[in-house]
Amino acid sequence: MSPFTACIVQTTSLPYDKQGNLDRALRAMEAAAARGASLILFPEMFLTGYLIRDQLAQLAEPYPNGPALTVLGQKAKALSLGVVMGMPLANPGGKPYNAVVMIDRDGTPAGFQAKTHFFGGEEKMFAPGTSLRAFDTSFGRMGILVCYDGEFPETARSLALDGAKLICMCAANMSPYEDYHFLYMRTRAMENHAYTLYCNYVGDEKRFHYCGQSGAFHPTGRILAEAGTQEETTLYALIDMEDTTAPDDFLNYLHHRQPQLYHPALCR
């Protein structure tokens, strides 16, 4: 795989304004492509805003052929730009999913991850994801985490054991939890020898103040790009998926695991 440039859009969302957020995403995609990016990330629930409980079901997209997904796919194909974006997805069996969708460079949805670990009463709004798996893309094998999912080492480790060499996390992390996700995602890169990309909101939405600190991390934990806590900004990072194999056997955590020693609950 050839190296590529990833773009991380640390921004606000316009609550309830699906069309407005979609238009902003399309403009950001054009700007990223003009800078040579091949992959772009937006925050958790970016398409609709996060605190939209009273209109959640109406705003949720059917997957894979929802109206916004179709527009995003057309733009992705035109720009040859992969897109990772948070949005609510319709769930025929119950409450919508808090999901992150990946649309590949050819405009086709490659996969989505519904949030599996809930924080602060999210279970009242969303149905939990029922699986946590990596999937194949034109960039290589990729995994997705949704905000609080990334605070559990088992989630990224599961994706890495499923072959993910790139883990993208989209979040709506807020005060007073500054520093948590930046630290966690840098650690997840190191312990799984995978690239990690982290995209968070900034600004205010009703009672929440989002704390930014988006970043990109090399498999050794080296910081490739980082954002501040207050401003909207766009980060760029060079990703080389061939550079995810340890050059020697030192610190090869995936190979050095000793599952027979761990608590049985970790090995189920």
Catalytic entry in 18, 115, 170, 205: 115
Task: Note if 115 is an active site residue.
Answer: yes
Q: Which of 7, 61, 75, 147 is catalytic?
A: 147
User: Out of 7, 18, 44, 165, which one is annotated catalytic?
Assistant: 44
E strand residue ranges, the chain: 4-10, 39-41, 82-89, 97-103, 109-114, 135-137, 140-146, 166-170, 195-199, 202-205, 208-211, 215-217, 223-226, 233-239
Query: Using CA atoms, how far apart are residues 120 and 42, in angstroms rounded to an integer?
Result: 22
Could you say which DSSP state residue 214 is in?
A: -
Tell me which residue of 100, 52, 111 sits closest to 198, measured CA to CA.
100
CB-based contacts of 46, cutoff 8 Å, min separation 6: 11, 13, 21, 25, 85, 86, 87, 170, 201
Catalytic residues: 44, 115, 147
